Structure 1
Amino acid sequence: MRIRLLLILVMALWGSAFASSKAAVAEVPHEVAGFLRFLGGTLVLLVVLRAPRLPAAEVPRVAGLGMVGVFGYNALFFLGLSLAPAADGSVIVPMAAPICTVAVSVLLGRVRLSGMRSLALFIAVTGGIVFFVGIPDTGDSRLLGDLMFLGAAACWSAYTLLGAPLLSRLPAATVTVYATAAGTAALGMVAVPAFGDVRWSELSLEFWLNQAYLAALPTALAYVLYYRAVGQVGPTTATSTMFLVPAFGLTCAWVVLGESIAPLQGIGAGLMFAGAWINTRPTVDDSVVPTAESGGVVVEDDSAAVDSTTRSDELNPSADSISSAADSLRAS
């Protein structure tokens, strides 16, 4: 129960990040907005977690994870925000990510789909088509932006799946710090050419406060809590809570930016939600192929495909400090 409450907190923070990031993109180029968010997030992580030790043999894997989940995701995410409403992104990314996770798990042989889950995949894909067909005719930029959001969702799914095996060997804090640092370095290289387009002296106090919020909460705290959850309940269960992000994201986009989605898009979003929800529910007739990541343990629910001997204190020595930070945030 406790870890699921932390996941809800993570989804609330990520939902708010769509509107906050859209506000940042309105003042600086999208490359710069993405880099500033994760530069601040990396610094916060390094200060709070004190640069945990990373074995040299794991450096390439963790760096590669950062290229996919931090650089790849955010390059597409912030580009999408510069082209399409934050409301679209708050639906596409969290709805598509769980579907991608299940689909890739099937292709890798980790999960055998039941008839119900196959039907759910069809429903979700149909919902995605309806959502894109329902995009208002406001030019090609919105469609292109929504496609960028779809690519970002694929990157996030890969980030989740590739990160799970690492958590059987490394603390969640270590993976998060160095994956974020690697991805941020790549974002910085892309952002440097756009620095000349920024009127730094004219940026408002609200802009910098927004950047501080994005760095400390949706980035630093949320990423650590998310990976802690993946290590304890598995990637599929963790991504299934992303169904909460659209509710938080659409609410923030409406309150902060005055955005909304079209009625036909709402129908498509509902179908995607239904399909994604069914696909991440445990079913009696699903069978999971044991893998190295699951410690060879055969389980009925793929969300439990984490070594039963792996405990939260082994995965994350700093779990107490992270939980304390989360408790403080909830208290405020």
Structure 2
Amino acid sequence: MLLCTVWGLQQVAIKLANAGISPVWQAGLRSLGATALVWGWASARGVKLWSSDGTLAPGLVAGLLFAGEFALIFWALEFTTASRGVIFLYTAPFFVALGAVWLLPHERMRRAQWAGMALAFLGVLTLFGESLLLGSGRAWIGDLMMLLAASMWAATTLTVKVSPLIRVPAEKTLLYQLGISALVLPLLSLAFGEPGVFAPTTVVWASLAFQTVIVAAASYVAWFWLISQYPATRLSSFSFLTPVMGVLAGGLLLGEALTPAVFAALALVGAGIWIANRPSPEAAPVPVR
């Protein structure tokens, strides 16, 4: 629940920092700072980072997916609001559940899960309908980018779950992603011709610091540790709390308009993900490894 609160605030922090730092450049700075922090944390705890454990290939894949995901997230918030963006981003459990059908056969989809996924998809269509039919400007571009970012987040989760990354410390899994994105994102920013830091203020730097220290370093170490301990679909059921926090944060901190469509989509996505990922009545408790 704490992680969901932090991630709900993430979209607001990105939006605030976008006012003074180009989106992809900002994402690169965040990854660079978080890489240094997680590296220091891992070194202090004696975590083995250089052992030969078969994680290089999946680590590279996870890192590229992570870079693509956050380039899309930061750029998308130039077009859409934080309130809308967080709803689209947290359709990721939808993609996790679909991917698990093929990649995690021991986590089979039940009828209730398919029904939940249908509800979540209906919520996405509700927001797209508002963008396309009610004249929400270019919001649909950002919405679509957020949806693609959600699919890449799900792909990262599944990559970790089905590869040797599941057996290594969470810090090493995270460093693959942070380190690779710290290299890729600045190059991508230069390729796009972004100006970089163009209007630094106290709020801009504080927003970047929050993302770097709290979100990208501390919360992600905790997240990948959780992935290594619990079933991916079961764990993802908690994610529906994040859009709630994100929508509230967007409305309260940024003054974003919270339309009926936003609340309808929030209810549908949240309810759908919860229904899809709740344990069946006959299921035995899942032991923690």
Runs of 4+ in 1 over 6 A off after TM superposition: none
User: Per the alignment, do residues 125 and 44 of structure 1 end up closer, same or farther by CA in structure 2, a change over 3 Å counting?
Assistant: same
**Sequence identity (%):** 25
Question: Pairwise mapping of residues 114-193 of structure 1 onto structure 2 (< 5 A)?
Answer: 114-135=110-131, 136-139=134-137, 141-165=138-162, 166-193=164-191
Cα offsets for 1:175-194 (capped at 9, x unmatched):
11222111221112112346
2:16, 2:203 within 8 Å by CA — same for their partners in 1? no
* Corresponding residue number in structure 1 for 2:15: 22
- Equivalent pair of 1:134/1:262 in contact (CA under 8 Å): no
- Alpha-carbon distance in 2 for matches of 1:123, 1:210: 34
Secondary structure at 1:283 match in 2: coil
Does the aligned pair in 1 maintain the 2:22–2:197 contact within 8 Å?
no
Query: Which letter maps to 1:93?
Result: L
Q: Which amino acid aligns with 2:251?
A: W
Question: 96, 101, 111: which one pairs with 1:106?
Answer: 101
Q: Secondary structure at the match of 1:112?
A: coil
The answer for unaligned runs of 5 or more in structure 2 is none
Aligned to 2:268: 271
Query: C-alpha offsets along residues 60-119 of structure 1, whole Å, 9 cap, x if unaligned?
Result: 221211111x2011011111111111111111111x111111111124462433222222
Distance verdict in 2 for CA 1:15–1:281, change over 3 Å = same
* Cα shift readout 1:117-174 (whole Å, capped 9, x = no counterpart): 22222222222212211235132x2001000010011011111111124344211111
Distance 1:254 1:44, change over 3 A: same
Alpha carbons of structure 1 residues 39 and 91: separation in structure 2 relative to 1, 3 Å? same
CA spacing shift, 1:113–1:178, aligned 2, 3 Å: closer
Contact preservation (8 Å) 1:20, 1:214? yes
What residue in structure 1 maps to residue 4 of structure 2?
11
Cα distance in 1 for residues equivalent to 2:16 and 2:205: 11
Secondary structure in structure 2 of the residue aligned to 1:134: helix
What 5-or-longer segments of structure 1 have no aligned partner?
1-7, 286-299, 312-332
Any idea what SS the aligned residue of 1:82 has? coil
TM-score, length-scaled by structure 1: 0.78
Kindly indicate whether residue 79 of structure 2 is the aligned counterpart of residue 86 of structure 1.
Answer: no
Tell me which moved more, 214-223 or 111-120: 111-120
2:73 paired residue among 59, 70, 77: 77
Shift of 1:245: 0.7
Q: Please state if 1:226 is matched with 2:257.
A: no
In 2, Cα distance between equivalents of 1:54 and 1:13: 30
Q: Where does residue 26 of structure 2 map in the other structure?
A: 33
Structure 1 residue 210: Cα displacement: 1.8
- 1:12-49 deviation per Cα after TM superposition (whole angstroms, max 9, x unaligned): 11111100001111222211121112111111111222
TM-score by length of 2: 0.89
Equivalents in 2 of 1:197, 1:204: separation in Å? 16
Q: Is the 8 A contact 2:8 2:242 kept in 1?
A: yes
Q: Residues 47 and 277 from structure 1, CA distance in 2 versus in 1: closer, same or farther, beyond 3 angstroms?
A: same
Structure with larger RCO (C-alpha < 8 A, sep 6+):
2
What's the CA shift for 1:234? 2.1
SS at structure 1 position matched to 2:117: helix
How many Å separate the matches in 1 of 2:136 and 2:119? 27
Distance 1:108 1:52 in 2: 28
- Rate the CA distance shift 1:170–1:47 in 2: closer, same or farther, 3 A: same
Q: Which residue of 2 aligns with 1:3?
A: none
Q: 1:196 to 1:282 in 2, by over 3 A?
A: closer
Paired position in structure 1 for 2:38:
45
Q: Distance in 1 between matches of 2:74 and 2:166?
A: 31
* Aligned Cα root-mean-square deviation (Å): 2.2
- The 2-side partners of 1:268 and 1:196 are apart by 33
Mapped partners of 2:244, 2:194: distance in 1: 37
- Residue correspondences, number: 281
